Amino acid sequence: MMASSYKDEDGHITVSGSGAAAGAGGGSLRSKKPENTAFKQQRLPAWQPILTAGTVLPAFFIIGLMFIPIGIGLYVTSNNIKEFEVDYTGVEMSSPCFTCSQNFSWNSTKPCTCSVPFHLDQPYESNVFMYYGLSNFYQNHRRYVKSRDDSQLNGNEESLRKPSKECEPYAKHNNKPIAPCGAIANSMFNDSLELIYIDPNGTKVQIPLTATGIAWWTDKHVKFRNPGAENTNLTVVFQGTTRPVNWRRPVFQLDSDPDNNGFINEDFIVWMRTAALPTFRKLYRIIQRRSNVHPTLPRGNYSLEVVYNYPVRSFEGRKRMILSTISWMGGKNPFLGIAYVSVGSVCFLLGVLLLIIHHKYGNRNNAAEISH
Amino acid sequence: VDCSLYSPGQLNTFFSKKTFVRCVMVSTYTSLVLFFIPWAAMQDSVRGDGKDVADYQSFALSTQTSLMIVVSAQMFLDTFYWTAINQFFLWGSIAAYLAITFTFFSNGLFFVFTSSFPFIGTARNSLKQPNVWLTMFLTCLLCVLPTVAFRFLHINFLEKIRKFTRFQKYKAREEGQPAPAPYRPPPRRVSTRRSSYAFSHSQGYGDLVTSRKFLRLKRRPSLFGRNQSPLVENQPQHYRTITEEAEESQT
């Protein structure tokens, strides 16, 4: 007979008289024992991944081989996108907009206009998108980003009369609440850009620009709503409020189209979606395609007519106009294509290297064994 | 006797300076990749229909989602035993993240708490872009692959290379002395129903000890060979089943 004492799983020490008796231990002791389920006895089926050569090496090769064609496809797509940029800040003396940029004043009643000629080497087919780009403009500054009142922009009447504290100091002006309040709305981009095509005879043709369909659907229909009921006169609804300090016109006169007036004006919505980086571009207008036969923008001379309202010289910013075609992956950005190709090649080379190491050192087991 | 709990302490695997430096290097690399790849991909980029995608909210969302996926991938790599519980929590956390993101960016919450949930519409608009998904995929892969490669090398080759070079040196030096035990490759994983989510891995040997087997004079295979001590190898437990002639009464 053997006496043994052992610690039970729940720490209860039992002393048993014999092996046979241990199994038939008293009823009171048995009740403290955990149930004999897989979960409580820690016998759950488990799967264990192991990084063997058979899994890792093929994975590296497959990733390498997958990425390279994707990268090439992305790069080719990006290369096929046509883009043209015109900087019209007017920094140099020779630039057409130099006088406008120098003579800027907030109180001028007569807007300054300038005209920048440029030449397109290739025709642009399908829809052409016109963007305005700003440089050195930090729309991602934290205090700036918070300086808005989303309730007011959603059409809340209470917030219209009492803008939130976040909008300070652009919340009230002359004791009237500002609609829309905040620094983001106050600094809205207000240059007007027009495109003129100069055909070979010399006649100037104005290119039609579409101003709607440039903002996100959720922004235009959910996030931004005009206060008051539908189809009410906006002048009446916004009575008692005043325009932002830097604006020339109040918010209910942004556009004659009632579907694009007030807070739901698409230029305003596009501006209020703050950009992530200090050099950014925002959609300004869309040039719809005319027909399958004629290119939207034929090759030739063009002129950009600017109504220069937006001062950027004070913070050394730059303004530009960008014309671009679009593909399924967006605008012209070769980075993703190049990144995919390089990562794919590095992966493939790494796989080859690991294969060499595995071949060289993996088979030495047999040489290392020595019989006793 | 279950010793795998003691080996991290004895080998000082978790709190040494070497580990700290390695951790800092990996974190720095991951942080740089997580920011700069979306940054470079978002420069001057727009959606497939020409509208904005380079705004602050979309950039934040893509970086945040990449981070979640990278962290989950690290956890996947570090989990040794995948029981049902592990599967539920690991896949569940990714699912929970997506659910919470879409909830926070939904119309309903925006109407109730307007100023707290200004990200409305961002998930719907930016996660529909193949551009954004490709960027996130690239970021996650760049963060995870070095870890996988390094671990693969470490597990499979560094021990072998070290032992092989040590053995070569030994062999070149001494001819007469007995050679050290040969290196055996790690045994193939036996499909085991033991999982290691608590301290006691096994049933223990109480039954064996209290049975009368020890009175019989049979030679038994040793439980742990010299080179298979978990102290040295610090590997997940592999068990050889011990055959028993007669089934004792199960308690």
In the 8-state DSSP scheme, what is residue B177?
S
Helix (H) or strand (E) holding B38: helix B17-42
Give how far Cα A313 sits from Cα of A47, A89, A104, A135, A346, Å: 64, 8, 10, 11, 44
Identify the domain containing residue B59 by its residue range: 3-142
Residue A365 with chain B: CB contacts under 8 Å: 160, 183-185
* pLDDT computed for residue A43 by the predictor: 79
Domain regions of chain A by residue span: 54-81+333-361, 84-326
Q: C-alpha A64: how far from its chain's center?
A: 28
Residue B201: which pLDDT band, with cuts at 50, 70 and 90?
low
Residue B39 with chain A: CB contacts under 8 Å: 277
Question: Cβ B56–A222 below 8 Å, yes or no?
Answer: no
Q: Is a pLDDT exceeding 50 seen at residue A72?
A: yes
Rounded-to-integer distance, Cα A190 and Cα B212, Å: 94
Bridge partners (DSSP) of residue B46 are B52
The number of domains in chain B is: 1
CA distance to partner chain B, nearest, from residue A202 (Å): 32
Q: Averaged over A326-330, what is the pLDDT?
A: 89
Among A367, A201, A220, which Cα is nearest to B167's?
A367
Rounded-to-integer distance, Cα B239 and Cα B225, Å: 12
* pLDDT computed for residue A196 by the predictor: 94
Residue A182: which pLDDT band, with cuts at 50, 70 and 90?
very high
- Asked if A212 has any chain B CB less than 8 Å from its own CB, the reply is no
Full-model pTM: 0.77
- Confirm whether B97 is domain-assigned: yes
Q: Are A321 and A304 in contact (CB under 8 A)?
A: yes
Q: Is a pLDDT exceeding 90 seen at residue A283?
A: yes
Greater pLDDT, B123 or B200 = B123
Helix (H) or strand (E) holding B73: helix B56-78
CA distance to partner chain B, nearest, from residue A256 (Å): 23
CA distance to partner chain A, nearest, from residue B247 (Å): 12
- Confirm whether B213 is domain-assigned: no
Residue A345: which pLDDT band, with cuts at 50, 70 and 90?
very high
Q: What is the number of helices (H) and of strands (E) in chain B? A: 10, 0
Residue B2: which pLDDT band, with cuts at 50, 70 and 90?
low
Q: Return the residue of B nearest to A339 by Cα.
A: B138
Question: Cβ B121–A52 below 8 Å, yes or no?
Answer: no
Three-state DSSP at A302 gives strand
* pLDDT computed for residue B217 by the predictor: 58
Rounded-to-integer distance, Cα B5 and Cα A176, Å: 70
Q: Is a pLDDT exceeding 50 seen at residue B191?
A: no
Among A189, A164, A193, which Cα is nearest to A272's?
A189
Q: Averaged over B118-139, what is the pLDDT?
A: 91
Q: Averaged over B227-248, what is the pLDDT?
A: 51
Residue B84 with chain A: CB contacts under 8 Å: 44-45
Q: Find the CB nearest B84 among A23, A44, A140.
A: A44
B79: phi then psi, degrees, rounded to nearest 5: -80, 120
Rounded-to-integer distance, Cα A285 and Cα A214, Å: 7
Among A185, A311, A169, which Cα is nearest to A247's?
A185
- The tens digit of pLDDT for each residue in A237-269 reads 999 999 999 998 999 999 999 899 999 999 999
Residues 6+ apart with CB under 8 A from A77: A327, A328, A329, A337
Q: Which amino acid, residue A231?
A: N
Share the mean pLDDT of chain B: 77
Q: Are B82 and A46 in contact (CB under 8 A)?
A: yes
Tell me the Ramachandran region of residue B244: left when phi exceeds 0, alpha when psi lies from -120 to 50, beta otherwise: beta
- Asked if A17 has any chain B CB less than 8 Å from its own CB, the reply is no
* pLDDT computed for residue B216 by the predictor: 65
Reduced DSSP (H G I as helix, E B as strand, rest coil) percent helix, strand, coil of chain A, to 5:
35, 20, 45
Share of chain A above pLDDT 70, in %: 89
- Confirm whether B201 is domain-assigned: no
Greater pLDDT, B24 or B213 = B24
- Confirm whether B130 is domain-assigned: yes
Q: Is a pLDDT exceeding 80 seen at residue A183?
A: yes
Q: Which amino acid, residue B60?
A: A
Give how far Cα B152 sits from Cα of A167, A245, A264, A290, B30, Å: 55, 63, 56, 58, 19
Greater pLDDT, A371 or B191 = B191
Size of chain B, expressed as the number of residues it contains = 251
Rounded-to-integer distance, Cα A97 and Cα B149, Å: 56
Share the mean pLDDT of chain A: 85
Least confident of A40-44, A364-368, B128-132: A364-368
- Confirm whether B179 is domain-assigned: no
* pLDDT computed for residue A56 by the predictor: 87
Among A191, A335, A176, A188, which Cα is nearest to A263's?
A188
Q: How many CB pairs (< 8 A) connect A and B? A: 232
Residue A215 with chain B: CB contacts under 8 Å: 51
Reduced DSSP (H G I as helix, E B as strand, rest coil) percent helix, strand, coil of chain B, to 5:
55, 0, 40
Rounded-to-integer distance, Cα A276 and Cα A142, Å: 11
Residue B50 with chain A: CB contacts under 8 Å: 127, 129, 214, 283, 286, 326
Residue A10: which pLDDT band, with cuts at 50, 70 and 90?
very low
Q: Is the ipTM of this complex over 0.90?
A: no
Q: Are A129 and A287 in contact (CB under 8 A)?
A: yes
Q: Is a pLDDT exceeding 80 seen at residue B44?
A: yes
Rounded-to-integer distance, Cα A296 and Cα A200, Å: 16
Number of neighbours of residue A239 by Cβ within 10 angstroms: 9
Least confident of A44-53, B66-75, B242-251: B242-251
* pLDDT computed for residue B218 by the predictor: 56
Three-state DSSP at A228 gives coil
Rounded-to-integer distance, Cα A19 and Cα A2, Å: 7
Greater pLDDT, A48 or A302 = A302
Residue A34: which pLDDT band, with cuts at 50, 70 and 90?
confident
Q: Is a pLDDT exceeding 50 seen at residue B247?
A: no
Least confident of A92-101, A356-365, B36-45, B133-142: A356-365
Give the DSSP per-residue string, A91-146. Answer: -STTSTTHHHHHT--TT-SSPEEEEEEEEESS-B-S-EEEEEEEES--TT-HHHHH
Three-state DSSP at A204 gives strand
Q: Are A275 and A282 in contact (CB under 8 A)?
A: yes
Q: C-alpha A310: how far from its chain's center?
A: 24
Residues 6+ apart with CB under 8 A from A263: A153, A155, A180, A224, A225, A226, A227, A251
- Confirm whether B68 is domain-assigned: yes
